[in-house]
Amino acid sequence: MGSTADKAKGMANEASGKVKRGVGKIASDRDLEAEGAAQEVKGKGQKTIGKAKEAVKKAGNL
């Protein structure tokens, strides 16, 4: 998977996680809230991987 795809998936997971966490908070559903928080972390990780891939690619082009 390319850096752009990783970053896009990361943003999508992060956004979905925020929504789940918010719904869980409103509904007093701790499981959904925790699931959303975990999905946010996953998204942040995917974005970081995408940025790292991009940095490696740029470093290789120097």
* Two structure tokens written together for 37: 């928080």
Closest by CA position to 11, among listed 41, 52, 35, 43: 43
pLDDT at position 11, please?
A: 96
* Mean pLDDT, range 35-60, rounded to an integer: 95
Percent of the chain with pLDDT over 90: 85
- Find the distance separating the first CA and the last CA of the chain, reported in whole Å: 22
Is 48's pLDDT higher than 80? yes
* Mean pLDDT, range 27-40, rounded to an integer: 97
pTM of the predicted protein model: 0.84
Closest by CA position to 24, among listed 33, 16, 11, 36: 33
Q: Rounded to an integer, what distance in angstroms lies between the CA atom of residue 5 and that of residue 53?
A: 11
Is 13's pLDDT higher than 80? yes
